[in-house]
Structure 1
Amino acid sequence: MPQLSVVVPVFNERDNVKPLIDEIVAALRGRQDFEIVYVDDCSKDDTLAVLQGLKAQVPELRVIKHISQSGQSTAVRSGVKAARGTWIATLDGDGQNDPADIPKLIAARDGGPAEVKLYAGWRVHRQDTGSKRWASRIANAIRSRMLRDSTPDTGCGIKLFDREAFLDLPYFNHMHRYLPALMQRSGWKTVSVPVNHRARSTGVSKYNNLNRALVGIADLRGVAWLIRRAKRTAVEEIG
């Protein structure tokens, strides 16, 4: 069984698929047992066909597809549920995350305490447009103030987390943007690790600042409510 599952959700990313898979393999092959789980969220281009063609060349690659388009959070969760590794690394399918940072996150985990269940990437030098950087900065400031999750960049796609801890989190659309706060709600600790960030080389972004803001307001209120209503206790078996 693989020690690590790399989960990559994609929608209309046919030109980014092979370069990103090649980089994942270069970063991990020979270092540890791993698998790559791509989740196609009903792409309208031939992303799925490209993935199927690569399976013969990359034995670590697994491909699953959604029957109906469901969004990034559901794609991530579908990939984690299908994964066989006890730890999950996630990457955005657009190639802006650098797979070479996965070993850095693994090293941080190996040197960290057991109660840390999420190592979140922190894009210190973002390679996005000025409007996206400003929007992200404002959103992170508001989120941090409301949720107090001590995370400078919750929207970074590259993360490393414990599979079992993730599947125990409350599930809702857009939950992938709030993983540090949700992990902390469950009693675990999280750590942010500086990572590389790259400009998109091909394809187009699936989001804009307006739709992010509109859904973000409702999501923030919902996550804040979940945190307020959380209740945890230790248990022991009586033998």
Structure 2
Amino acid sequence: MLEFGLEGLLILLAAGFFAGFVDAIAGGGGLITLPALMIAGVPPVAALATNKIQGMFGSGTAAYSYARSGLVNLREQLLPAGLAFVASLAGALLVSVLPTDWIRLILPVLLIGIALFFAFRKDPGDMDKTARLSPLAFTWTAVPFVGGYDGLLGPGAGSFYMIAFVALGGYGILKATAHTKLLNFASNVGGLAGFVLVAEPLWAIGLAMGVMQMFGAALGAKMAMAKGAKLIRPLLVVTSMVLALKLLWDVL
């Protein structure tokens, strides 16, 4: 059984809070928490499973905050949320038949890619634009694709949901972020359900980080609705690059 010293525990709790804050605004909270868990010595599959526990709290809190503010119609999102759950469940079950070392190799590349995307992308603004896919086509293509990825690996899934809503669904950035949180919550729950069957999550650590995620997500959603997502982009870029370099150093 893994044991964490006080310093390691405080770092993981801080990562949970910051990830909840970042994820509620721009997505990508898993880019912080999963590498933090792996740097703390948690094996890759157990880290993925534990990440789902704490991520569920953050995305659920943010989804509730956005829905309460009228930015998401929960009834209209039942089908997409259900598909995200099922796809993520399937992705999590697939992890059990794949070698785990590939996670350590892919994650730094993913972190760098996401960091570059946020560093150089142009914010689409808060106004809706013309959708490239109909709502039905979007629901049956983009949603299960990202949901499956969320169960299989996870980090950046919130960012991928948001990118899909903006680029394919024509949503403004605030509306996209609000809808992302509901789907992210559904895929976190689905992924956790799958991992419970094939892995051993660290429940105490996951729940403790989840509580911190709730505080961070509540603050992040409040700031996103007040100021938009520009505030968080530099922090997300720097954090992703630092974590990627640390993981690459460990691998090499």
Give the TM-score, by structure 2 length: 0.28
Which protein is bigger by CA-based radius of gyration? Answer: 1
Give the TM-score, by structure 1 length: 0.29
Q: Which has the higher contact order (CA 8 A, sep 6+)?
A: 2
